[in-house]
A and B are shown apart, each in its own frame.
Chain A
Amino acid sequence: MEILYVFAGIFVSLGAFFLLAGSIGLLRLPDFYTRAHAQGKADTLGMMLIIFGLFLTQGFTINGAKLLIIIAFIGLTSPVGTNVMLKAAYHCRLIPWFKNDKGNPVNTKQEEEED
């Protein structure tokens, strides 16, 4: 039983690391599209790892089954949510940031939309 708890601790710590990476990415990356990368990937894996770690402490009980359902739900809905947001931004003509593209009006389009 103890060894499972150790593994759970390892999984939860790894997940917390990925959540931290997602948060830092949300702060550091230059524009909306790249931030969605951090939100849609690092966060998803971090949550899955943490919930899997908690599943190890529960075993195959009702609680464990519910945790597995949550993992499946997140794996299905997280990319869909990201995609819907990106599609909305693209349809609002938010121009992405590119590396060798100086003077790009990345964040000026939004004011027109809010009028």
Chain B
Amino acid sequence: MEKYFIYLSIILTIIIVMPLYRVIAGPTLFDRILGAGAVATKTMVLILMIGMVFNRLDMFIDITMAYAILNFISTVAIAKYLES
């Protein structure tokens, strides 16, 4: 079972790299922010996967929660700043 999660983490890493193209080459500023948000959401899942691999899920869940809240607040703050 651990092996399965390791393979899945590798696949997830490849999935995470793909939106980086949008961050670098995005035609507008909003595309870049959207790409950064996509990277952040997928990173949350990757953190949980790593917790599963190391059998220390209790520690990594807290990190994930903090990351989720941080991601949401940063998105809202940037959007509010751009709107004004």
Q: Is there a contact between chains A and B in the complex with CB atoms less than 8 Å apart?
A: yes
Interface residues of A (CB under 8 A from B): 5, 9, 12-13, 15-16, 19-20, 22-24, 26-27, 32, 35-36, 39, 43, 46-47, 50-51, 54, 57-58, 62-63, 66-67, 69-70, 73-74, 77-78, 80-81, 84-85, 87-89, 91-92, 94, 107, 110, 113-114
Interface contact tally, CB-CB below 8 A: 120
Write out the residue numbers on chain B whose beta carbons fall within 8 Å of the beta carbon of A32. Answer: 28, 30-31, 34
Contact A91 B44 (CB under 8 A): no
Taking a contact as CB atoms closer than 8 A, the residue among B18, B57, B62, B71 that contacts A26 in the complex is B18
Interface residues contributed by chain B, number (CB under 8 Å) = 43
- Knowing A27-B21, A81-B37, A114-B29, say if A58 contacts B57 (CB, 8 Å): yes
Contact B27 A107 (CB under 8 A): yes
6 A-B pairs besides A23-B38, A32-B34, A110-B28 with CB distance below 8 A are A16-B11, A35-B22, A51-B48, A77-B68, A80-B76, A114-B29
Contact A70 B64 (CB under 8 A): yes
Complexed CA–CA distance, A35 and B27 (Å): 12
Of listed A63, A70, A89, A92, residue having the most chain B CB within 10 A:
A89
Write out the residue numbers on chain A whose beta carbons fall within 8 Å of the beta carbon of B37. Answer: 39, 81, 85
Contact A43 B34 (CB under 8 A): no
Among B1-17, those with CB < 8 Å from A are 1, 4, 8, 11-12, 15-16
For A107, give the chain B residue with the smallest CB separation: B27
Which A-B residue pairs are the 6 nearest by beta carbons? Answer: A23-B18, A88-B79, A107-B27, A84-B79, A110-B28, A88-B83
